[in-house]
Amino acid sequence: MSEKKKPDHGYTEDSIRSLDWKEHIRTRPGMYIGKLGDGSSKDDGIYVLLKEVIDNSIDEHVMGYGKNIDVAIQDGQVDVRDYGRGIPLGKVVECVSKINTGGKYDSKAFQKSVGLNGVGTKAVNAYVKAAPKWPNSLKEISKKTNAKKRVTRKTVLG
């Protein structure tokens, strides 16, 4: 029995890559949001992203912060606005761009929570074309909306 010659695929140290958070999410959507799709199917990733944003708003509401959650859909764009505590300003960049970072890993800040994996806002920011440039726009939002130096959560998907 003759042995088949294996192709040389050149698997060396140069083959190993480290991706930044955004590139990893975009390269492996199945790990984060399922299939990408175009929005025509109920299991397309855009709906998973929207659910992640709404889940964060529901968490705030259930905890007693914020009386309303506004959802507006117009011209292929979805705006979600809650009136909760927002993200503490000093941790905004980490919370929206560093995988496995968030305030829901214990029960100190959130006694009840839908999302627990620290991926939701990161996946949204990785996929949303109109994601604001961090952190300058967040500082502007904070100055205008909340004297307690927290970012008021308003997410735009579109």
Residue 91 confidence (pLDDT): 86
Residue 158 confidence (pLDDT): 47
Number of domains in the chain: 1
In-domain check, residue 150? yes
**Could you give phi then psi for residue 41, rounded to 5 degrees?**
-115, 145
In-domain check, residue 9? no
Three-state DSSP at 5 gives coil
Residue 118 confidence (pLDDT): 66
Residue 17 confidence (pLDDT): 92
Question: What is the secondary structure of 99-120 as a DSSP string?
Answer: TT-SS-SSSSS-SS-S--SS-H
In-domain check, residue 112? yes
Enter the pTM of the model. 0.68
In-domain check, residue 4? no
Full residue range of the structural domain in which residue 74 is found:
19-157
CATH of the domain at 35: 3.30.565.10
Residue 75 makes CB contacts below 8 A (sequence gap 6+) with: 158
DSSP 90: G
In-domain check, residue 74? yes
Tokens representing residue 50 in the block: 């929207």
In-domain check, residue 122? yes
Partners of residue 73 on adjacent β-strands: 78
pLDDT tens for each residue of the chain, 158 residues long: 667 887 777 888 998 999 888 888 888 888 888 888 777 888 888 888 888 888 888 888 888 888 888 888 888 778 888 888 888 888 888 888 888 888 777 777 776 777 656 678 888 878 775 444 444 444 444 444 444 444 444 554 44
Using CA atoms, how far residue 15 sits from 18, 19, 28, 74, in Å, is: 10, 13, 18, 45
Question: Is cis: bond before 132, omega within 30 of 0?
Answer: no
In-domain check, residue 119? yes
In-domain check, residue 100? yes
Tokens representing residue 104 in the block: 């829901």
DSSP 88: E
